[in-house]
A and B are shown apart, each in its own frame.
Chain A
């Protein structure tokens, strides 16, 4: 073997070694891990794109390439008392309800809205108000059960598309108030949510 060839091989080996060291250094510095507890779920992203859902445990990530967005999947419960909604004939209805929802698909929940934990609250209030407003005031008392069933069905569909499952829902109170509060003098038990 000529000296020239040995020299070239040596240079190549040194180059590979240095390059390997640099690469290893970069890799070691970027290595990290993420621990999720039993009540958490995560979405694993690689180069910005969703790859899979991850559950409880330790997950290795490479900083700058991988990313885990995690969230709480424990049930969310709501209880609202004495909410007021106008009916089509100008009278009012008062209602109370409670509900419990749980994250079914973390990916769907994460992508559906900016803060997924507020989604059940938003859907519940929207659907209930819309359903009661749409009712015929004359048949209101007899249609309470049908309102509850219709709302439960609609809630189930809406929540499912947002990655949730409706675990429990009940209209605990619903009645028409002929001499209801005047809008403007009463806040309808409402609040603005954003």
Chain B
């Protein structure tokens, strides 16, 4: 009978540690997600896609890694020389650092466009934007992407496929009206 009791205890132990019993719950991290695991409230790991068991002391916050598109249309800014510039911007941003993204903003889908708008104004204000030629657009785009990378990195995000879809400057219009 001693052997029998021993086997029952062994099974219970296997059950407890292999399947976890009632003290654990299953967590699925999907292919386009990452899990931020906390144990006793402290960060312990970034979970890759898969199936996990988390005990009662643990917690997993899921982060969506898919890109989030944005449109900033007719953003009115001032350039370095004080001229009015209006530009529209389209692109995407995605999470590059899941842990940082979770810790630094409540909702990165809303935080992203705010930072992008700020970075765009900063980029324009650091340049003299006098016309809408390809050279100006190229310079503006390069400056903008550099600035966006810096700004978004602070909250664990990265810009993707940034495109300036419209650019208007007060000086171009004045020149055009004079010409006509």
Which A residues are within 8 Å of any B CB, using their own CB?
11, 14-15, 18-19, 22, 26, 45, 47-50, 63-65, 67, 69, 85-86, 88-91, 110-114, 118-119, 122, 125-126, 129-130, 133, 178, 183-184, 187-188, 190-194
- Provide the residues of chain B in CB contact with A11, threshold 8 Å: 3-4, 7
The smallest C-beta distance from B75 to any residue of chain A, in angstroms, reads 8
List residues of chain A with CB within 8 A of the CB of B176.
Answer: 89-91
Interface contact A19-B173, CB-CB below 8 Å? no
Whether A126 touches B168, Cβ cut-off 8 Å, given contacts A63-B26, A64-B28, A194-B109, is no
The 4 A-B pairs at the shortest CB distance, nearest first, are namely A64-B26, A90-B173, A190-B73, A86-B168
Other A-B pairs beyond A47-B28, A48-B49, A184-B76, 6, CB < 8 Å: A11-B4, A19-B11, A89-B172, A111-B32, A133-B88, A192-B117
B148 at the A interface (CB under 8 A): no
Distance (Å) between the CB of B117 and the closest chain A CB? 8
Central interface residue in B11, B132, B166, B175, by most chain A CB within 10 Å: B166
Q: Give the distance to chain A from B178, nearest Cβ to Cβ, in Å.
A: 10
Interface string of B56-97 (1 = CB under 8 A from A): 000000001011111111101000000010101010100000
Q: Is B113 an interface residue (CB 8 A)?
A: yes
Contacts of A45 in B (CB 8 A): 28, 30-31
Interface residue? B29 (CB, 8 A): yes
Measured between alpha carbons, how far is A9 from B108 in the docked complex, in Å? 60
Contact check, A183 vs B86: say whether CB atoms are below 8 A apart: yes
Are B71 and A85 in contact, with the CB atoms below 8 A? no
Interchain nearest-CB distance for A85 vs B (Å): 6
Partner of A85 from the list B19, B33, B166 (CB cut-off 8 Å) is B166
A113 to chain B: which residues have CB within 8 Å? 66-69, 92
Number of interface residues of B (CB under 8 A): 52
Query: A178 to chain B: closest CB distance in Å?
Result: 8
Are A18 and B28 interface neighbours, CB within 8 A?
no
Let me know if B163 is at the binding interface, CB within 8 A.
Answer: yes
Q: How far is the CB of B155 from chain A (nearest CB, A)?
A: 14
Q: Which chain B positions have C-beta within 8 A of A130? A: 90, 163, 165-166
Known: A183-B86, A194-B112. A86 touches B165 (CB 8 A): no
Contact B19 A119, beta carbon cutoff 8 Å: no
Residues of the A chain whose Cβ atoms lie less than 8 Å from the Cβ of B30:
45, 48, 67, 69
Q: Bound complex: CA of A23 vs CA of B5, how far in Å?
A: 20
Q: How far is the CA of A191 from the CA of B113 in the complex (A)?
A: 12
The answer to whether the Cβ of B167 comes within 8 Å of any Cβ in the partner chain is yes
Which residues of chain B (122-180) have a CB below 8 Å from chain A?
132, 163, 165-169, 172-177, 180
Name B8's contact: one of A18, A110, A114 (CB within 8 Å): A18
For A69, what are the chain B residues with a Cβ–Cβ distance below 8 Å? 30
Whether B51 sits at the interface, judged by CB under 8 Å, is yes
Q: List 12 A-B contacts (CB under 8 A).
A: A14-B4, A19-B11, A22-B15, A90-B177, A113-B66, A129-B88, A129-B166, A130-B166, A184-B76, A188-B86, A191-B73, A192-B113
With contact pairs A15-B7, A90-B169, A133-B167 given, residues A193 and B70 touching in the complex (Cβ less than 8 Å): yes
Complex partner residue of A49 from B49, B64, B68, B168, CB under 8 angstroms: B49
Contacting pair A86 B167 (CB below 8 A): yes
Alpha-carbon distance between A48 and B68 when the two chains are bound, in angstroms:
21
Cβ-defined contact, A190 with B50, below 8 A? no
Q: Which of A19, A65, A88, A118 contacts B132 (CB 8 A)?
A: A88
How far is the CB of B42 from the nearest CB of chain A, in Å?
Answer: 24
